[in-house]
Structure 1
């Protein structure tokens, strides 16, 4: 027997579909891309600096960082999720102390994160306003705003 999600259990006919957050979508996109970058940066550091750091440490830290970046997408809708994202932006920037090119990459991703959060909040606010205006219009026009049928002229 299939298990239903909370949203599926609470659904009733005629319920409007809940709008997805654009902020969460943009932030998730940045985090997933950072996860890939963390993985490939791990491979680069492994290849370039395995004499300076133990290979097991390089691979462990890099893979864990990549996984944490990707898994953070699941908590972005929670109040502390975006704060965790900001902390991970700093972690990615600070990886520049191990591989200097990561300072540039980390800063560019932090800018992308900031822009995605800022733009996503604005788009979500505008969508909520449109939804309110649509609900007001529907309440004022219960017949669906259908115009009266015009009389046929011969």
Structure 2
């Protein structure tokens, strides 16, 4: 799960950066404000890559997805892009957990098989 979720978050770093470039064209927003908010959001994406597997990590990712969608009030395209990345986030969490379960199951089978082979061959 960690790899898929981290990949989604890194993609969001680029998305936020491009949205910041678009937001700079808004005459009501100062460049400092745009890049402060964008920079914090980009840093949070990178930091969240490290806490995905910890308790609350997935929920932090969902909070970020909601913030991305809400950024559509500043850059309207972000309503769509935020929804697309929220769908990617869901898929990363959902299928990542399935992959983790399959890996654990295969590891347990391999360990059981190795134990059976070691116990079955007297030396």
Task: Classify the TM-score, shorter chain.
Answer: over 0.9
SS in structure 1 of the partner of residue 28 of structure 2: coil
TM-score if structure 2 supplies the norm length? 0.93
Root-mean-square deviation (CA, aligned residues, Å) is 1.4
Alignment match of 1:58 (pick from 28, 31, 34): 34
| Contact 2:71-2:78 within 8 A present in 1 as well | yes
Q: Which residue of 1 aligns with 2:17?
A: 39
How far does residue 32 in structure 1 lie from its aligned partner after superposition?
0.5
- Pairs aligned (count): 121
Higher helix share: 2
Instruction: Quote the offset at 1:54 in angstroms.
Output: 2.1
More relative contact order, 1 or 2 (CA 8 Å, 6+ apart): 2
- The structure 1 segments of at least 4 consecutive aligned residues displaced by more than 6 Å after TM superposition are none
Is 1:26 the counterpart of 2:42? The answer is: no
Q: Rg bigger for which structure?
A: 1
TM-score, structure 1 normalization: 0.75
- Report the Cα distance in structure 1 between the residues aligned to 2:81 and 2:120, rounded to whole angstroms: 52
1:97 equivalent to 2:73? Answer yes
- Unpaired segments ≥5 residues, structure 2: none
